[in-house]
Amino acid sequence: MPEGHTIHRLALDHVRDLARQPLQVSSPQGRAVETARVLDGRAFAKVDAYGKHLLYRFEDELTLHVHLGLFGKFRRQASPPEPPVGEKRLRMVGDRWTVDLSGAVACALIEPDEEEALLARLGPDPLRRDADPERFVAALRRRSIPIGAAIMDQKVIAGIGNVFRAEALHVDGIDPLLPARELGDERARVLWRTMAKMLADGVRERRIVTIRDARDKPVTAGRAPKGEGPRTRADRVRHKTVHVYRRRDCHDCGGPVETYPMAGRTVYTCPACQPAGSAGPSPTPALADGPAPTLDLG
């Protein structure tokens, strides 16, 4: 389940469960034995999350870098733990909780220069307070690749994966094939806010939640006063389900979901809600203005 929200949630959970106490660290699978040996008996003070990367700040300036990749998983159990089952790359045992890591792409100590290079490869992460949305806007302006490929590029925006790509573009009514630079700055800012909100909700609720602004939906009951357009609802609709990702039919309109490969992954899009060439409806001032949303990750 690893997109940005999962990674930030893990950082919070691991600080809560394991920080500031000496940990028993081992590598049952045997692929990170040296890393485990160095960290064994040490404590970490905090965990920094950048996009899909985790950085555990251990004593003595030691940093453990973890990237889950597609298959990586953390599992938690009460201490003392059961004997490891399966391919456990790293086991961290604290006084109350034990966390096992399996399937990760990266699980190793990194030096400051390597970390610098890593962070240089990442664009702004909407879940971080220090994120600058204008870097995202500027990056889109520079790219002729489809918007659906651009937001999967971690250098453009860090933390978005295939689910959020499908869902965010759908919520904003954007055709994934639209060239990134044709989105326009205002709509790019709206898209940033959509993704920031979805990611933040995902951290809080431990799952992907989409929130659709229903303002453009005509009110079915009642009649519009003469001379005025149809009345619209201003309420926001929360969906604890995806709208298009891995669905056959669109959750909003019921029409068939279209799929095709883009940037090495399958795109899911609703041609009715996201017509060809669409950059989405004009942003309303309420959505386009104001400071970028932030999340207190205290």
Partner DNA sequence: AGGGTATGGTAAT
Partner DNA sequence: TTACCCTACCCTC
**Cα distance between residue 123 and residue 121, in whole Å:** 7
With CB under 7 A as the contact rule, which of the stretches 178-186, 211-219, 223-231, 264-272 interacts with DNA? 264-272
Residue showing tokens 């990749």: 69
Q: How far is CA 104 from CA 8, 57, 117, 188, 242, in A?
A: 16, 18, 20, 32, 26
3-state SS assignment for residue 277: coil
Annotation says 197 is catalytic: no
Looking at beta carbons only, is 85 or 219 nearer to DNA?
85
Annotation says 3 is catalytic: yes
Annotation says 81 is catalytic: no
Looking at beta carbons only, is 29 or 274 nearer to DNA?
29
Among 121, 142, 206, 238, binds DNA (CB under 7 A): 121
Count of CB atoms situated within 10 Å of the CB of 86: 11
Question: Which residues are CB-contacts of 7 (< 8 A; sequence separation ≥ 6)?
Answer: 49, 51, 52, 53, 54, 68, 159
Among 34, 71, 249, 282, binds DNA (CB under 7 A): 71
Annotation says 2 is catalytic: yes
Q: What is the DSSP letter of 173?
A: T
- Angle CA 179–184–190, to nearest 5: 110
Among 225, 227, 264, 291, binds DNA (CB under 7 A): 264
**Cα distance between residue 234 and residue 252, in whole Å:** 17
Among 8, 35, 51, 168, binds DNA (CB under 7 A): 51
154 binding DNA? (CB under 7 A):
yes
**Cα distance between residue 289 and residue 297, in whole Å:** 23
Among 42, 57, 67, 204, binds DNA (CB under 7 A): 67
168 binding DNA? (CB under 7 A):
no
Looking at beta carbons only, is 191 or 287 nearer to DNA?
191
Q: Give the residues lining the site for DNA (CB under 7 A).
A: 1-3, 6, 29, 31, 51-52, 67-71, 73, 86-89, 102-103, 105, 121, 152, 154, 161-163, 208, 246, 264-266
